Amino acid sequence: MMLRLISVYLLLLSTSAFSQSEARGSDDWQQLQTQATQAYHDSDYLLAQQLIQQAIALAEKADNGDAYQASSLNMLAYIYAAQGQTDQALDAIEQAVQLSRQASEQHQEQLGILLFNQGQLLQQANQLELASAAYQQSIQSHLAFNSEGDGTLWQAVLAQAQLLMAGHQFVEAEQLLKNALNGFPGQDQFTHQPDAIEDLIDLRVLLAQTHLAQQQTQQAIAVLEQGRQLLQQQTTQNEEQKLWLLELLATAYEDTQQASKALPLREQALKIRQQQTTPSLASVMHLNELAMRFQQDENFAEADDFYQQALGLLAELDQNESIEQALILGNRASLKLLQRETRTALALFEQSFALHQQLNQRPLDASRIAGYAATIYYNQRQYAQAEPLFLEALALLDSVADVNEESLLIALDNLATLYNAWGKTGKARLYSNRARALRNQ
C-alpha cells in the first residue's frame, strides 16, 4: 500500500485580505479559483487553465495579492502536471513558493503547504534530491510557524521518510518518524502532535518498516501492534491502510516463527480482499501466502484450496503465463510432493519451470524448481530426464552474482550424485571437485 500523499493540496484563503476597494475583485478571484478547481477535477484542463490564468491576472492587480497569486499558481502547476507538462508545472510551483515567501504573516501556513506540493511534483518528475529538500523545508516551515498545515506536516514527514528509506537511510528515517510521533520535542516553539488516527497509523507503519529494514523485527511488531489498536478506534476504516498493516504484521510474525499469530491476520486480510469489488495481484499473492502457511502447518487440504483460488483469480485477471503463476504452480507442486502425489507434482514443476524459462525473471526460483523436477526423475532412475534439469539448475545459479553458497553446493552435489549413480564417474568428478574447492575456500 502506498502512503496517503495528497495529489493536489488546494489552498483556501480568506478573500478578506484584499483591500476594501478591491472587494469586487476578491469575489471574482474566488469564483474563478473555484471554477478552475472544478474543471480540473472534471479533467477539463484547457478550461481549468483559462480560468486559473484569469484568477492570476486578478490577484496581480491587488496590492496584497501575493498569497492569492501563489494559490492560483499552485493550481496551475497541477493542471500542467496532469497534462504531462512537467517543466511548466515545476516553474509554476516555484513561482508560487517564492510569492508565498513574500506574503503577509496572515498566510504563514501557506508556505509549508506549497513546499510540500513542490516536493510532490519534483518527486513525480523523479528529481528526488530536490524533492527531499522541498519536503525538509516544508517540515521546517511548519515547525517554525507552529502549524500542522491542516495535516500537510505529517504528510511531508511520511514523504521524506519514504525517500530516506529509498536511499537506505533507515536510521535517519526512523529518527524523523519518532520525532513526528512525539511532536518534535526538540522544537520548543512547536506545540502540536499528530492526532488524526489515519496519520498516526501511517507514521507507525512506516516506522515499523524502518525497523524491519534493520532486522529489528520485534521492535516492528511492537509498533505495528500499536497501530492495530488504533485501527480499532476508527469509526470509518481505511481498508487499504488496514490491509497494509495486517499483512506487514503477519509477515513480521512469520519472520519470527510465530505462525499461529500470523495466520489469523492473513485470514482477516483475505476477508477484506475478498470483499473488494476489484480483484488484484495483491489478492493473488495473499492467497499464496495463506496457502504456504497452511502447508507449513500440514493442513494440506486447506493449502491446496488456497493455491487453486490463487490460480483461479490469476485467470480472472488474465495473468496466466505470468511470474506469479510460475511461483504459485511451483508452490503447489511442492505441496503435492508432500502429499506423495508424485505424478501431479512433476507435472506442476515442469509447467512452472517452462514459465520461468519463458519469462527469465527469477533465476533463483527457477533453479529451485528445476532441481525439484530433476530429483523426482532421479528417484525414478530416469537419469536422462534428470540430467538436463540438474544442469539447468546449476547454470541458473551460476548466472546470479551473489548466489547463496549452500544452494550452489546442493546443485553441484546433485550432479555428482547423478553421474555416480549413472556410472559416469568422470563427469561426477568434475562437479565433486568443484564442490570440494568451494567448501575449502
Instruction: Tell me if residue 189 falls in helix, strand or coil.
Output: coil
Identify which of 97-106, 181-190, 335-344 has the greatest average pLDDT: 335-344
How far is Cα 196 from Cα 146, in angstroms, rounded to an integer?
17
Please tell me which residue, 239 or 172, carries the higher pLDDT value.
172
In the chain, the percentage of residues whose pLDDT exceeds 70 is 92
Residue 281 phi, psi dihedral angles, 5° rounding: -65, -30
Which structural domains are found in the chain, ordered by start? 1-138 (1.25.40.10), 168-186+194-231+240-273 (1.25.40.10)
Amino acid at 136: Q
- Torsion sign (Cα): 148, 149, 155, 157: negative
Q: What angle do CA 326, 332, 337 make, to 5 degrees?
A: 125
113, burial (CB in 10 Å: exposed 0-12, middle 13-18, buried 19+) = buried
Q: Tally Cβ neighbours within 10 Å of residue 351.
A: 18
Whether the per-residue pLDDT at 303 is higher than 70: the answer is yes
| pLDDT tens string 355-399 | 999 999 899 999 999 999 999 999 999 999 999 999 999 999 999
Whether the per-residue pLDDT at 411 is higher than 90: the answer is yes
Please tell me which residue, 356 or 187, carries the higher pLDDT value.
356
Joined grid coordinates for residue 231: 485501527
**CB neighbour list of residue 53: distance below 8 Å, 6 or more residues apart:** 76
pLDDT at 336: 95
Whether the per-residue pLDDT at 178 is higher than 50: the answer is yes
pLDDT at 8: 44
Pick the closest to residue 109 from 133, 28, 117 (CA basis).
117
What number is the average pLDDT over the span 102-111? 77
pLDDT at 239: 79
Give, as one character, the DSSP assignment of residue 92. Answer: H
Joined grid coordinates for residue 22: 478591491
Q: What is the DSSP string of 395-424?
A: HHHHT-TT--HHHHHHHHHHHHHHHHHTT-
* Least confident stretch, 12-26, 79-93, 224-238, 248-262: 12-26
pLDDT at 276: 67
Residue 277 — pLDDT band, cuts 50, 70, 90? low
Whether the per-residue pLDDT at 280 is higher than 70: the answer is yes
Q: Tally Cβ neighbours within 10 Å of residue 224.
A: 27
Instruction: Give yes or no for a contact between 295 and 338, defined as CB atoms under 8 angstroms apart.
Output: yes
Q: What is the pTM of this model?
A: 0.67
Amino acid at 314: L
| pLDDT tens string 307-360 | 999 999 899 889 988 999 999 999 999 999 999 999 999 999 999 999 999 999
Residue 313 phi, psi dihedral angles, 5° rounding: -70, -35
Pick the closest to residue 64 from 107, 34, 113, 109 (CA basis).
107
- Torsion sign (Cα): 162, 164, 169, 173: negative
Residue 64 — pLDDT band, cuts 50, 70, 90? low
Joined grid coordinates for residue 253: 510474525
Mean pLDDT over the full length of the chain: 88
Instruction: Tell me if residue 340 falls in helix, strand or coil.
Output: coil
Q: HSE, CB side, 13 Å, CA atoms: give it for residue 267.
A: 10
Pick the closest to residue 310 from 332, 294, 295, 293 (CA basis).
332
**CB neighbour list of residue 137: distance below 8 Å, 6 or more residues apart:** 115
Q: HSE, CB side, 13 Å, CA atoms: give it for residue 427.
A: 12
Instruction: Tell me if residue 167 falls in helix, strand or coil.
Output: coil
Q: Distances from the Cα of 19 to the Cαs of 23, 59, 102, in angstroms?
A: 7, 12, 17
Whether the per-residue pLDDT at 108 is higher than 90: the answer is no
Give, as one character, the DSSP assignment of residue 21. Answer: G
Pick the closest to residue 422 from 375, 378, 369, 389 (CA basis).
378
| pLDDT tens string 418-437 | 999 999 999 999 999 999 99
How far is Cα 421 from Cα 428, in angstroms, rounded to an integer?
9
In the chain, the percentage of residues whose pLDDT exceeds 90 is 63
Q: Distances from the Cα of 111 to the Cαs of 86, 117, 157, in angstroms?
A: 21, 10, 16
Pick the closest to residue 5 from 179, 122, 145, 127 (CA basis).
122
pLDDT at 106: 65
pLDDT at 88: 95
| pLDDT tens string 8-31 | 444 444 333 443 344 445 668 889
